[in-house]
Structure 1
Amino acid sequence: MHDSAHVDTFARDHLPPPDQWPELRFDLPELRYPARLNCAAELLAGTDPGRPAFHTPAGPSWSYGDLRARVDRLAHVLTRDLGVVPGNRVLLRGPTTPWLAACWLAVLKAGGVAVTVLAQQRPHELAVICEMALVRHALCDIRSVDDLAKAEIPGLRITTYGGDTPDDLLNRPAPSAPFPAVGTAADDVALIAFTSGTTGRPKGCVHFHRDVLAVADTFSRHVLRPREDDVFAGSPPLGFTFGLGGLVIFPLRAGAAALLLEQAGPRQLLPAIAEHRVSVLFTAPTAYRAMLDDLDSYDVSSLRRCVSAGENLPAATWHAWHERTGLRIINGIGATELLHIFVSAADERIRPGTTGVPVPGWQARVQDADGRPVPDGEPGLLAVRGPVGCRYLADPRQREYVRDGWNITGDTYVREADGWFRYVARADDMIISAGYNIAGPEVEDALLRHPSVLEAAVVGRPDEARGQIAVAYAVLKEGAARDAEALRDFVKSELAPYKCPREIVFVDALPRTATGKLQRFRLRTRPDRQ
């Protein structure tokens, strides 16, 4: 690794040992980055300052000149007023707005480490993240500050933005001069993205400055192929790396613009596409299915690229969208551990019902549990490697994800004889519902915090609209009332609402082996519902 520019070296100090890293490959010329690299400065450089950078449904657009000036101003406030030094972790929380994106860029330009979380996450979840990453600074939209304040995180300094008080981030005095980007190393930590694991405890996925550019210089450059006149939009928030790439990194790397929507469900996407002439769309298969019924009411002729990730894209959804719009959805699989999409295909290379082929700069294979490649046509574990790899923050699960230099994504795949990769199923207990990852054990832990619950198990069930839904099985304490709605309300108070079980089934006992191990497969096949 290169000499770090970080004064606070916590993130680098808590990387896994080098012998647990995946093999990194920089086979493309554009992936051979210089030793010193600040990805925020790179993303903001070179584009005509008069070109649009960010649009919103209400309010004036931001030009690249506006964005650079505001990022520089925020970076001055961060370093001179708030005392952020290179390497400090800075939590970012709020709806998807230009100001949230500007805060992310300012943190990176100032040499900090961005920890972007979902506005939906609850105090308990936020406290765990801040504890794991030793976060002491937070920039939070004034509308999203309540749960963060309720978390009562020791030593956390919360600075709000979007308010009218003198100490608001946007109201603090700052120099108007440009902010010189901190000369970070290409392998200095730029961000930590937290994802839920099957044990329920989140995993901190550590990514470097070069990683941020690498996902743009592989998937975006070679598969998506954006243009300067593109307008990007989509449903994933910036707390998901799918959204961070599709709404910030990719458009800025291409000198294009993004429409940032605070509400970006199917009902909001279609009118936004029509009004703002969106040309590149990022969302999950669930949203594409949901938008089909209302397509005739909106002009979507501006669309030229549609990207799907977050869950498997069924061939029926692909064909239905293609028949109605003439557009070929670009399917892809990515992972928070690898920052963005690494298997995909576009245009005439798309084969409905498959995910695609390795993105240029990436390699993929299908192997068995012992790491041996399996023959084409047989299912096995998807293994990938490329310019970005999994590096968990001080987490023993590193050994599970990285084996013999390969990143093992936890997905079961088949490689066809001609090299196309076809998704089969998740290989672990993660539930993927409408593009959201839900760790069953995390929801179980929340249920068990309710005073009436004795035991709980949460599994995924197939669902036509969402791919899967979370179903909870609960054993109650003697005398407790079987009140499913009360339990759902409790879970919503503990976790982000999308993690709440769609169904709660009360049982007298959970199926277990003779040694007491929970038999989840028996719950997945039960026919009973409530």
Structure 2
Amino acid sequence: MIERFTKRSRFTSQQDFIDNFSIDIPDHFNFAYDVVDAWAAEQPDKRALLWIDDKGHERSYTFAEIKDLTDRTASFFSSLGIGRGDMVMLILRRRVEFWLSIIALHKIGAVAIPATHLLTAGDIVYRCNAATIKAIVCVGDSNVLPHVEAAMPDSPSVDTLISVGPEVPEGFHSFADGIASAGEWKRPEPKNDNSDTMLMYFTSGTTGEPKMVAHDFTYPLGHIATGSLWHDLGPDDLHLTIADTGWGKAVWGKLYGQWIAGATVFVYEHEKFTPADMLRMIERHRITTLCAPPTIFRFLIRENMSDYDLSSLRHCTIAGEALNPAVFDAFLKQTGIKLMEGFGQTETTLTIATMPWLEPRPGAMGVPNPCYDVRLLLPDGTPAEDGEQGEIVVKLPEDGSRPAGLFKEYYRDPELTAYATRGGYYHTGDLAW
């Protein structure tokens, strides 16, 4: 699948990567049709998702099944009045319905807004009013439903509530019943434009209310570098990224780049993170690649890892915070695997990384992804020299376009968008040397 969007997917050196990596963006690109449904047409029995929970339930899904279920979900959502451009918030933890819902929303041309299950009623009210959210799809449990219900009197734009069992309160539609009785789905005309908003995240800075980071339909293609290259994925891999679907890291590691590469996404739905459980998952299911923040790896190395058969694991990546060299050394000693760091933001895809052909340096993020023209600038706007600390910025194309993966705008905040993209650069606000 990746060959449809890149001239080459394997490289031998960083210079080879710089010289030869590019992304071909089709007109009217839509990840749901051009990747998910394409896999279903070409290799219908290929496994797409392996879902496990901490209560012993397990379910494997092929691409053909994902296509059928997302068609049904799109038809169900459409029957409730959800259409192109509508804002839909997803509070779904690690339930399979997250994948069905987000792909269905892509098929409709609606805007998916993933959100954490930790939101309070006040958080939900703010998001609903800031984005004029039309519908909420949420897990039907006592940790989420009361907050959603409490938010509704102050959220006038929301006219559709969908519960993913077991509880379906009055005023909510049942997700399971809806897709069971859904009609046939056909791609709407006109097709989405690449510049249409597809995905939006609320992301907090150090001050003020959360910003609304809007991505267009080309965003998934920016994750080719994340999945195929940094995660080093191929069609035979079973990949685990440890992240809840409410955070941006989930689509980095549990959806776009992985399915473009043809890898199987492994999902473990659990109430409480337990390092031993994660190690058992790797052993039992023969997971081949793993991505997690340094905190997770710190917990893993405290276990007696020699008690587990981790021989299937061949490649591990790490991001989200600075990596302590001691964690790198301890994990290498216990597994023989070198942790490969990466950096990016909600506003971007993978921006700086240690790719498989590079020797990792513990505590170093790596080198720039050539999808982005990455530079370091001093406060006066001049380039930082070697050894000098500067702000990580991305040079914007002079024609006004955006590299695949870079956010479209801060929704409904043109002043903040202009400030973040001042001087012909996207300013990350993060410092490096």
- Confirm or deny a common fold (TM above 0.5): yes
**Unmatched segments (≥5 aa) in structure 1:** 1-25, 415-530
How far, CA to CA, are the matches of 2:205 and 2:182 in structure 1?
43
Q: Per-residue deviation at 1:179?
A: 3.4
How far, CA to CA, are the matches of 1:93 and 1:148 in structure 2?
10
> Partner residue of 1:393?
411
Instruction: Describe the SS at the equivalent of 1:347.
Output: coil
Instruction: Describe the SS at the equivalent of 1:46.
Output: helix
Output aligned runs, 1:34-49, within 5 Å. 34-47=26-39, 48-49=43-44
How far, CA to CA, are the matches of 2:329 and 2:283 in structure 1?
22
**CA 1:297 to 1:151, structure 2 compared with 1: closer, same or farther past 3 Å?**
farther
**CA 1:316 to 1:279, structure 2 compared with 1: closer, same or farther past 3 Å?**
same
Q: Which amino acid aligns with 1:69?
A: D
Q: Per-residue deviation at 1:219?
A: 2.9
Judge conservation of contact 1:73–1:179 (CA < 8 Å) in 2.
no
**Unmatched segments (≥5 aa) in structure 2:** 1-17, 396-402
> Partner residue of 2:294?
285
> Partner residue of 1:322?
332
Q: Per-residue deviation at 1:155?
A: 3.3
When the two chains are superposed, the root-mean-square deviation of aligned CA atoms in Å is 2.1
Q: Which amino acid aligns with 1:150?
A: A
Judge conservation of contact 2:140–2:167 (CA < 8 Å) in 1.
no
Output aligned runs, 1:255-294, within 5 Å. 255-263=262-270, 265=273, 266-294=275-303
Q: Cα deviations across residues 82-137 of structure 1 (Å, max 9, x unaligned)?
A: 11110001111121122111111101111100001001111111211111111011
Judge conservation of contact 1:94–1:119 (CA < 8 Å) in 2.
yes
Q: Per-residue deviation at 1:341?
A: 1.6
Judge conservation of contact 2:230–2:317 (CA < 8 Å) in 1.
no
Instruction: Describe the SS at the equivalent of 2:219.
Output: helix
How far, CA to CA, are the matches of 1:231 and 1:262 in structure 2?
16
Output aligned runs, 1:503-522, within 5 Å. none
> Partner residue of 1:230?
237
Q: Per-residue deviation at 1:175?
A: 4.3
Q: Cα deviations across residues 59-103 of structure 1 (Å, max 9, x unaligned)?
A: 3211111111000000001112x1111000111112112211111
Q: Per-residue deviation at 1:353?
A: 2.1
Q: Which amino acid aligns with 1:320?
A: A
Q: Cα deviations across residues 172-196 of structure 1 (Å, max 9, x unaligned)?
A: 2544535326611111110111100
Aligned mate of 1:244, from 225, 246, 251 = 251
Judge conservation of contact 1:306–1:328 (CA < 8 Å) in 2.
yes
2:169 aligned with 1:171: no
Instruction: Describe the SS at the equivalent of 2:199.
Output: strand
Q: How many percent identity over aligned positions?
A: 25
Q: Cα deviations across residues 187-237 of structure 1 (Å, max 9, x unaligned)?
A: 111011110022230001110111122222x33233333111111112211
Judge conservation of contact 2:128–2:157 (CA < 8 Å) in 1.
no
2:74 aligned with 1:75: yes
How far, CA to CA, are the matches of 1:324 and 1:226 in structure 2?
23
Judge conservation of contact 1:113–1:192 (CA < 8 Å) in 2.
yes
Aligned mate of 2:48, from 49, 53, 64 = 53
Q: Per-residue deviation at 1:267?
A: 3.9
**CA 1:37 to 1:413, structure 2 compared with 1: closer, same or farther past 3 Å?**
same
Q: Which amino acid aligns with 2:157?
A: G
Q: Which amino acid aligns with 1:171?
A: D
Q: Which amino acid aligns with 1:189?
A: T
How far, CA to CA, are the matches of 1:312 and 1:407 in structure 2?
22
Q: Which amino acid aligns with 1:242?
A: K
Aligned mate of 1:343, from 352, 362, 379 = 352
Q: Per-residue deviation at 1:401?
A: 2.3
Aligned mate of 2:102, from 76, 97, 104 = 104
Bigger radius of gyration, 1 or 2? 1
Q: Which amino acid aligns with 2:412?
A: A
Matched residues, number: 386
How far, CA to CA, are the matches of 1:34 and 1:310 in structure 2?
31
Instruction: Describe the SS at the equivalent of 1:45.
Output: helix
Q: Which moved more, 1:233-242 or 1:259-268?
A: 259-268
Q: Cα deviations across residues 283-338 of structure 1 (Å, max 9, x unaligned)?
A: 10011011012212222211122111111112221122112111111201110011
> Partner residue of 1:155?
157
Q: Per-residue deviation at 1:370?
A: 2.6
2:318 aligned with 1:308: yes
TM-score by length of 1: 0.69
2:430 aligned with 1:411: yes
Instruction: Describe the SS at the equivalent of 2:176.
Output: coil
Q: Which amino acid aligns with 1:405?
A: G
How far, CA to CA, are the matches of 2:307 and 2:145 in structure 1?
37
How far, CA to CA, are the matches of 1:28 and 1:40 in structure 2?
27
How far, CA to CA, are the matches of 2:366 and 2:86 in structure 1?
39
**CA 1:313 to 1:29, structure 2 compared with 1: closer, same or farther past 3 Å?**
closer
